[in-house]
Structure 1
Amino acid sequence: MPINLLKLPRLVGLIVVTELEEYQEVFLLSLCSLRTKFLVKKARIKLPNVSYQFRKCRGHNEFMIGFELHPTNFQYGLYKKVWYPVTSLLHVPKLVLNQISALKFGTGYEADTTIYLWYKEDGSFLHRIKYANDPMGIQKALQNHINSIFHYCGTNKLYLSMKCKGTLPNITNVKDIVIEDETVEPEFLTEVLTSYPNHQSLSIKSRIVGELPKESPVFQVQDIANFVGRNMWLRRALLTEQDIIQFLRKWISNEAYHSLETLSIMRNSGKTINEALIRQTIEFEEYDPSEPEKRPDYYDVVTPIRPIVQRHSLRNEKWLELKRITDGKRAFVQFFHIVFHFFVHKDSLDALNDDDVIWEF
């Protein structure tokens, strides 16, 4: 038998809200009326983080909101990303007249919408809100609404697709940006970095089609010779042994890369890195199996943007060691076929810095 939530004693109503199993349920409840929105806010349900996905769905732009968790499987040394949906907006040319309902987001923004719900095989449900309004207004209002009802004031992660036409999402406080298309054009990268100038990490899992202009914002941080961030992961990169030697020399002398913590580069060619050539110039300390305690057991590459993070076992001959001249800082180096790893020793190997900067190409 249905129960009127608003007729329950306030404390009981708050308990009911906090017992809802889906964040989608909490969100939809907040749209029912001002009183239910107030009840949701009083329940003080919080999101651990907020991610936005801007993608193509059935020929239309879809704007999804949710959060991510990364449960750890130390047996395999992996962190797997799990997405938890909160809501989704689908921009369509027009709505079916007899299915329209007016919804209020944020602090008074009102839009004609149609809400669709469906159940998955596991019994959980999903919903999508269709709208025909100007995307810029409703996106901003929705962000304000989410921040308000879930008491969220943190930074945001944004997944983008070049397949979506029109303007980029109108949201603020974007820290992490991920682009996952098969290919991406330089003009799109410029637009993204210009639209979200305060971002701290960028992951481009796409092949860049065309040449990046010299004035591109990407070059402000992408070039390893000028990199000043904490973490970099490059795929299909032009990398020579002389590049590696120059990089290692600058780190050892403390001439550059003062904030660097992790660096992984995969060559764009299938040619194995010539470790012997590098070792002719750079002096490494090899692993001593009689004194394994001189090294940590492992190194976890934990960054805020990569969905899968690996644990590397350091107590073996595959890893070489370097020391910085000025302060004795240690780093661990590995050459594995076409891959070059460089990990700087930290006081807490599994610590995650909120201000990590990652550039992944």
Structure 2
Amino acid sequence: MPVNLLEMPYLVSVMVVTELDYQEIFLFSLCSRRSLSLVKKARIQVPKLAFRYDKCDRQEEFVIGVKTNMHEWSYVTSVKHVPELDWEGVMNVKAELEYESIIKSWHKKDGSFRHQIERTDKPMTVQKEYQDYINSIFHYSGSYKLILSMKCKGQLPNITNVEYIEIEDGTIDEQRNGTIDAQFLSNLLTTYPDPHTLSVDVDIVGELPKDSLFFQVQNVAVGSLCGPEYIHNFLGRHLRLDSVTVTDQGIIQFLEKWISNKAYHNLETLVIFVDHPLIINADLIRQTIECEEYNSEEPEKRPEHFVIDAPFDYLMPIERYSLRKDNVVEIKRATDGKRAFLRIYPTYLQFIVPQKLP
């Protein structure tokens, strides 16, 4: 027999609400002003909110979720922008948010429940409304992750306080169809100023100017083919390139600039994979750059491990690197003695600059 949650004692009602999942909490908050008030009084808080801008049935869709860890999130709601509402067999919700909408629901193959809200309003208006509403029911004032699918064209989502941006291709095959250029990146980083992390998994067309805001982002990961200028122009802390066309001389130039303190003052990690068929000549680089081999009889001179804390959810999870190995050489900066560690494989290079050393 159904029980009216709003007729239960207050403390019991609050306890029940706190046991709901995030999607259920959101839907319950839409039922009435009393249910919305109860949700707010329960003071449910979330660790991190994320937004995904994608396409569903050829219509733009705005998905909101709660990040529960580096790679997973819990679904809260999604809003699809449609040309007109189809009222057959669905319910209308008009509570705290003053608009007409349709909520459709279904069960996925794994048995989990899903819903989707359909709206005809302008996407820019809807997106900000839902950000504000989600903030209010979860008492959230933190920053956001934004995932952009290149299946969507037109204006960027109208949300604020974006700290992490992930750009994905949006196709399910191995052949990338989405591309971006310098103008898109400029618009993106102007719309969402000062993000601390940018992860790009689409092809970047054309050259980026040296003063591009792209190179000023603190943490950058690029999954598509790129040139050596991505290394040479970078001003941030963490850089990961999954397919870069850089020569041995380009790597030597990078290392010499770091050693002389002419560039890369903020750099903590550089992780690169060279594009096929390029091969890194580790012996040439070691002979050219002054470095110190690992001495197994004095392991305490180095930290045992280094953990990269760059929050690349898709391209690079948190990684733990061992520094006490024969294939890791130590490099010192000439001006202040700052230490860095270099590991080179034929197609892979790690350059690590620990900020605190024993």
Regarding TM over 0.5, the answer is yes
Conservation of the 8 A alpha-carbon contact between 1:162 and 1:188: no
In 2, the alpha carbon distance for the partners of 1:161 and 1:188 equals 13
In 2, the alpha carbon distance for the partners of 1:127 and 1:228 equals 43
Asked if residue 18 in structure 1 is aligned to residue 6 in structure 2, the reply is no
Letter in 2 for 1:66: G
**Which residue in the other structure is 1:28 paired with?**
27
RMSD, aligned CA: 2.3
Question: Equivalent residue of 1:280, what SS?
Answer: helix
Q: For 1:194-233, list aligned pairs within 5 A.
A: 194-212=190-208, 217-218=213-214, 223-233=230-240
Question: Equivalent residue of 1:103, what SS?
Answer: coil
Q: Which runs of 5+ in 2 are unaligned?
A: 170-175, 218-228
Query: Between Structure 1 and Structure 2, how many residues are aligned?
Result: 336
Letter in 2 for 1:163: K
**Which residue in the other structure is 1:134 paired with?**
122
The normalised TM-score by structure 2 is 0.86
Conservation of the 8 A alpha-carbon contact between 1:111 and 1:138: no
What is the CA-CA distance between 1:216 and the residue it aligns to? 5.3
What is the CA-CA distance between 1:135 and the residue it aligns to? 0.9
**Which residue in the other structure is 1:184 paired with?**
179
What is the CA-CA distance between 1:320 and the residue it aligns to? 1.2
Match of 2:137 among 140, 149, 163: 149
What is the CA-CA distance between 1:213 and the residue it aligns to? 6.2
Letter in 1 for 2:356: D
Question: Equivalent residue of 1:110, what SS?
Answer: coil
Identity level (%)? 50
Segment drifting more, 295-304 vs 134-143: 295-304
Conservation of the 8 A alpha-carbon contact between 2:30 and 2:93: no
What is the CA-CA distance between 1:68 and the residue it aligns to? 2.1
Q: For 1:1-361, list aligned pairs within 5 A.
A: 1-20=1-20, 22-70=21-69, 81-98=71-88, 99=90, 101-104=92-95, 109-181=97-169, 182=176, 183-186=178-181, 187-212=183-208, 217-218=213-214, 223-307=230-314, 308-347=317-356
Conservation of the 8 A alpha-carbon contact between 1:30 and 1:36: yes
Segment drifting more, 288-297 vs 134-143: 288-297
Segment drifting more, 274-283 vs 53-62: 274-283
Question: Equivalent residue of 1:95, what SS?
Answer: coil
Letter in 2 for 1:203: S
In 2, the alpha carbon distance for the partners of 1:316 and 1:275 equals 15
Question: Equivalent residue of 1:208, what SS?
Answer: strand
What is the CA-CA distance between 1:200 and the residue it aligns to? 2.3
In 1, the alpha carbon distance for the partners of 2:338 and 2:349 equals 19
Question: Equivalent residue of 2:93, what SS?
Answer: strand
Kindly indicate whether structure 1 or structure 2 has the higher relative contact order, using CA contacts under 8 Å at least 6 residues apart: 1
**Which residue in the other structure is 1:354 paired with?**
none
What is the CA-CA distance between 1:289 and the residue it aligns to? 1.9
The normalised TM-score by structure 1 is 0.86
Conservation of the 8 A alpha-carbon contact between 1:160 and 1:179: yes
In 1, the alpha carbon distance for the partners of 2:276 and 2:187 equals 30
Conservation of the 8 A alpha-carbon contact between 1:173 and 1:198: no
